Amino acid sequence: MANVETTTLTLAPYDRAAELKAFDLTKSGVQGLVEAGIQHVPRIFINQSETIQKASTFFELPVIDLGSTDRASMVEKIRAASENIGFFQVVNHGIPLSVMNEMLQGVRSFHEQDVETRKRFYTRDTSKAVIYNSNFDLYNSPSANWRDTFLSFMAPSPPPPEELPEVCRDIQIEYSNQVLKLGSLLFRLLSEALGLKPNYLGDIGCDKWLAFLGHCYPACPQPDLTMGGTKHTDAGFLTVLLQDEIGGLQILHQNQWIDVPPTPGALVINIGDLFQMISNDKLKSVEHRVVANERGPRVSVACFFSSSPAPPTKVYGPIKELVSDDNPPKYRETTAHDYIRYSFSKGFDGVPRLLHLKL
């Protein structure tokens, strides 16, 4: 917990905008601060609302064996977890352990490569093939996260391979293709879990659009003062998360923060806001966060199945088959374009993203 001295210091007025700008202009992220041997967390990163209670309760996230021949039981487990927890883990998911390990190593190598090479990717221009920066919402969040990320949109139109970072491009392409395959399977199972025909979610495009985020949470000298990732829900339909062995992911379950310790070989799957919305609140998009840690760097890969802002006319609303007179639509329809634009502009401001669509 922050001691009184530090708290007083952070409450003192300072030119936050100038400090954010100065940090951003270094183009070398939190990793750059750590490489420079920083011993204290700069005040732009100090999180006064979330650092008080980091203790979490023990709870085991269901692990679902996708290699099981008992499809009905698999679908039932996925349904229960998606309705009640919003998160589950999968094993025997078809992505070889060697590919997972190589992917994590690739992300680590990207963030640890020579600063001048890394800097060339640093941008906030979302039209670029690789968007590397620290805190996508740096300028509009209450406190910055102890995290750097590089992002690429890998489907349906991946960037030309030569524009991807050389240190990890082959494995990034390989891993993304494997995640797309896994996504098709998960959306078939989730369609069944919702009582829909197996192709339903695929047919409306849930498994077509994929964003790849390679996160790095460098070792933090004062992990009690900041967060690796502030609490948030994911915007898209579904997230496939690969985490390394360090740990730090927590999910909110029954008002308690629960650790999701790394399970070797497993991937973490969670429901996003857009999925909660089209399921008319049957499936839950649940808040989660990443605590900062002294060991590190921790790396993870979050792959978001979401919806393309183009064509702008694609409309999403509660699935007709899931609403009835007894269960009327809880959300108004939105175009993918408006939804993505809104969700990108608001950042992690603590206001639920779906609120603006609630009927």
Applying CB under 6 A, which residues contact ligand AKG? 213, 215, 229, 234, 241, 243, 249, 288, 290, 300, 302
| Beta bridge partners of residue 90, listed in sequence order | 64, 267
Minimum distance of Fe ion from residue 288's CB (angstroms): 6
Residue 23 structure tokens: 């940090």
Question: Applying CB under 5 A, which of residues 234, 244, 259, 273 lies at the interface with Fe ion?
Answer: 234
Smallest gap from residue 229 Cβ to ligand AKG (A): 5
Determine the Cα–Cα distance for residues 87 and 93; give it in Å rounded to an integer: 16
Q: Between 167 and 211, whose beta carbon lies closer to ligand AKG?
A: 211
Q: Which of 195, 201, 247 is nearest to 61 (CA)?
A: 247
Return the number of the residue (234 or 273) whose C-beta is nearest Fe ion. Answer: 234
Q: Residue 300 touches which of Fe ion, ligand AKG, none (CB < 5 to 8 A by kind)?
A: ligand AKG
Other C-beta atoms within 10 Å of 187: how many? 25
Contact between 106 and 171 under an 8 Å Cβ cutoff? The reply is yes
182 binds, among Fe ion, ligand AKG, none (CB under 5 to 8 A by kind): none
Q: Shortest Cβ distance from residue 169 to ligand AKG (Å)?
A: 21
Q: How many CA atoms lie within 13 A of 327 on its CB side?
A: 11
CB of 122 to ligand AKG, least distance (A): 18
Site for Fe ion in 1-60 (CB under 5 A): none
Instruction: Kindly give the pairing relationship between strand 63-65 and strand 87-91.
Output: parallel
> Judged by CB, which is closer to ligand AKG: 278, or 302?
302
Q: Which is nearer to Fe ion, 10 or 233 (CB)?
A: 233
Bridge partners (DSSP) listed for residue 212 = 152, 303
Contacts of 161 (CB under 8 A, 6+ apart): 169, 173
Question: What's the rounded Cα separation, in Å, for the pair 241 and 290?
Answer: 12
Cα–Cα distance measured from residue 336 to residue 315, given in angstroms and rounded to the nearest whole number: 6
CB of 152 to Fe ion, least distance (A): 17
Pull the structure tokens for residue 42.
């700069």
Q: Residue 107 or 190: which CB sits closer to ligand AKG?
A: 107
Are the C-beta atoms of residues 248 and 289 closer than 8 Å to each other? no
| Residue 293 CB, nearest approach to Fe ion (Å) | 17
The entry of ligand AKG, Fe ion, none near residue 233 (CB within 5 to 8 angstroms by kind) is none
- Closest distance to ligand AKG from the beta carbon of 76 (Å): 26
Site for Fe ion in 63-82 (CB under 5 A): none
Is 244 among the residues that bind Fe ion (CB under 5 A)?
no
Judged by beta carbon distances under 5 to 8 A according to partner kind, the member of Fe ion, ligand AKG, none in contact with residue 215 is ligand AKG
Nearer to ligand AKG, 249 or 319 (CB): 249
Q: Which does 276 bind (CB under 5 to 8 A by kind): Fe ion, ligand AKG, none?
A: none
Output 189 or 301, the one with its CB closest to ligand AKG: 301
Name the residue number minimizing CB distance to Fe ion.
234
Strands 238-243 and 298-306 turn out to be antiparallel
HEC string of 249-314? EEEEECCEEEECCCCCCCEEEEECHHHHHHCCCCCCCCCEEEECCCCCCEEEEEEEEECCCCCCCC
Q: Residues interacting with Fe ion, by CB under 5 A?
A: 234
